[in-house]
Amino acid sequence: MNNFNRFQGKVAFVQGGSRGIGAAIVERLALEGASVAFTYVSSDSKAKTLADHLISKGGKVIAIKADSTKPEDVRNAIEQTIHQFEQLDILINNSGVLVWDNIENLTMDDWEKTVNTNVRSIFVASQEAAKRMNNNGRIINISSTNAQRIPFVGGALYGMSKAALTGLVKALSRDLGHRGITVNNILPGPVDTDLNPDNGDTSESMKAIVALGRYGQAEEIAHLVAFIASDEASYITGADLMIDGGFSA
Give the number of other CB atoms < 10 A from CB of residue 42.
10
pLDDT at 194: 85
CA atoms of 151 and 195, how far apart (whole Å):
19
**Largest interatomic CA distance in the chain:** 53
Please name each of the domains of the chain with its CATH number: 11-243 (3.40.50.720)
| Catalytic residue check, 235 | no
pLDDT given at position 101: 96
Question: What is the structure's pLDDT at 3?
Answer: 47
Q: Which residues does residue 141 pair with via DSSP β-bridges, in sequence order?
A: 93, 185
φ and ψ at 240, to 5 degrees? Answer: -100, 115
Distance (Å, rounded) from C-alpha 84 to C-alpha 86? 6
Tens-of-pLDDT digits for all 249 residues of the chain? 444 799 999 999 999 999 999 999 999 999 999 999 999 998 899 999 999 999 999 999 999 999 999 999 999 999 999 999 999 999 999 999 999 999 999 999 999 999 999 999 999 999 999 999 999 999 999 999 999 999 999 999 999 999 999 999 999 999 999 999 999 999 999 999 988 889 988 899 999 999 999 999 999 999 999 999 999 999 999 999 999 999 999
Q: Nearest Cα to 143, choosing from 228, 51, 80, 204?
A: 228
d(CA 152, CA 34): 39
∠ Cα 44 41 220 (to 5°): 85
Q: Give the bridge partners for 62, in sequence order.
A: 37
Cα 83-89-92 angle, rounded to 5 deg? 100
Do 12 and 229 meet the contact criterion of CB atoms below 8 Å apart? Answer: yes
For residue 4, the model assigns a pLDDT of 72
Cβ(97)–Cβ(19) under 8 Å? no
Strands 191-192 and 216-217 come out as: parallel
Q: Provide the pLDDT for residue 200.
A: 87
pLDDT in the model for residue 129: 97
Other Cβ atoms less than 10 A from the Cβ of 14: the count is: 31
Cβ neighbours of residue 204 closer than 8 Å, sequence gap 6 or more:
none
